[in-house]
Structure 1
Amino acid sequence: MGLSLDEQKAVDRFRQEVAEPSMTKLVILDFWAEWCGPCKALTPVLEKVAAEYADKGVVLAKINVDEEQFIASQFQVRSIPTVYALFQGQPVADLTNARSESQLRSVLDQLLAKLPVEAGDAAAPDLAPLLAMGEDVLASGDGERAAGIFAQIAEMAPDNAEAHAGLIRALVLAGHVEEAEAALAMLDPGLAADARIERARAALELAKDRPDDSELAALRAAAAERPADMDAQFAFAGAAFAAGERDAAADTLLAMIAADRAWNEGAARAKLLQMFEAIGLEDPWVAATRRRLSTILFG
């Protein structure tokens, strides 16, 4: 076909992620980029409506034009966001101008009335892509948007522990501690015991230590002025982590463990392990910090 290796890989990815699903589903294809402000405004609308229409056979696929320039060129994308509806491998509508939820629903309703789209399983929707989307948004630092995604999933599947855990963690990240506490309190006891909920609970407990800027500055100054004062170091570490300063919190706790691992019945190590649990043991930062802890403990 005269394609380079990279272009062939791009075509294969597109076939698997977009073309093949479009054989039976209606695919909303969103061309976007990280630097595109209008794309970021449109994305929550596309995600919400796609989730609502999942049981009708609608799925959302996203193409980053910086990473998939060859695919974007094949669709002659001249500006972003550009959004198409695809069915059986072919564009059937340009959705770019459908910027509101009502406009997008209207176009989708018209398309679904005309096309033999295979409906999804309303009783058991595929939540994995939505959960992955929520985790990606959460990892990017956008707690507000992640909370909206996880809340929709929790509404669709009230017994899904991962969705509820994601909602709590997203609310914590967004600074809505009281809402996170309420969401945790409302959980069924069976869900509350899930390991993923325990991780969210740990994140919530740590977030309760979050100080305002002046309090954090005072705790930082006290820790710097009294390096041998374990209480001052411990107070700063907890506040720093709650304020999002992971490295400062870890550095302080690791220094405490190196100086006196038995202080206050091992409180510094316990606090660090609680931070690991809140973030997730699979997180690269956690893995690196655990290696530092192991070096201190086992030499």
Structure 2
Amino acid sequence: MSTPNHRPSPAAPSSMNLRGAVDLSALKARSTAPAAPAAPAAPGGAAPGGAAPGTAPAPSPFVVQVSEQTFPQIVQLSAEVPVVIDLYSDASPDSQQVSAILASIAVEQNGRMLLARVDAAAYPQIAQAFSAVAVPTVAAVIKGQPVPLLDRLMPEDQIRALVGELMQVAAANGVNGTLEGGTQEEAPEAPLSPLHQEAFDAINAEDYDAAAAAYRRALAEQPADADAKAGLAQVELMARLRDADAEAVRRAGAEEPDNVQAQLAVADLDIAGGHVEDAFRRITGLIGRVRGEDRETARLRLLDLFEVVGIADPRVTKARSALARALF
């Protein structure tokens, strides 16, 4: 569980996920012939393939040409960084524009993503694997799983937004490395506001009541303060767990399946122990069984736990759908 002021990277909207319809296994295992020798990498570059002269829109170790022989290496790299697959044609002006935008983004990401360019006419097997019927077609691969991105020319801001969502999805799935030659730049943390600093100091002193009071004052001043809202939910959870007897809590939960407080106490333990989905299932199931004030109590606790986990977390998105079904 993160501390209130150092929360994990959020996931992208649920419209983008890792359940693609493309099976890459054939291409990963294709060709018993040895891979063609890679072109010399740019200084510091370790990405396979190398950009063919005159084809890459921008010289960079993070923009590479891909063949059927080098494609399996690209798929392997997708466990470290998101790999954007640009299926292009030099004969298509739209494709050239998309390629140039993607290359610019890859250079800016500085090793946090790889742009893999595939000549769709030269390598129809790869194009077919991504169901490309025209160029430009752009997809991504994360942990070997394909993620469709676009199949037409789009404005640059929309392409950048898609890549931004992709990077969030990758980070949420633990794919947040940096290729050799890149740097993992971290922006310096801004100083905390006085009330947030007061809460942080109280947390360090294990005075969770004082921390909660500071966060409530921050929310009174700025109701849209998302960090204060999340911080309050987290310190309230810490306070509830401070004197909890885990064995007794779980025993009561097993003996009283419809006792709201008993079930919420078990859910608190599950969240603290990292069993997020178990906690969410327990509460949404409870909401489906109880009525009136008990249901509202359970609903509000679930919303608080959403804040603890992070409202953009994909497990929260899934639980929101389950909550809606339980309520309606």
Please classify the TM superposition score into its range, dividing by the shorter chain length: 0.3 to 0.5
More helix by share: 1
Output the TM-score relative to the length of structure 1.
0.43
Output the TM-score relative to the length of structure 2.
0.40
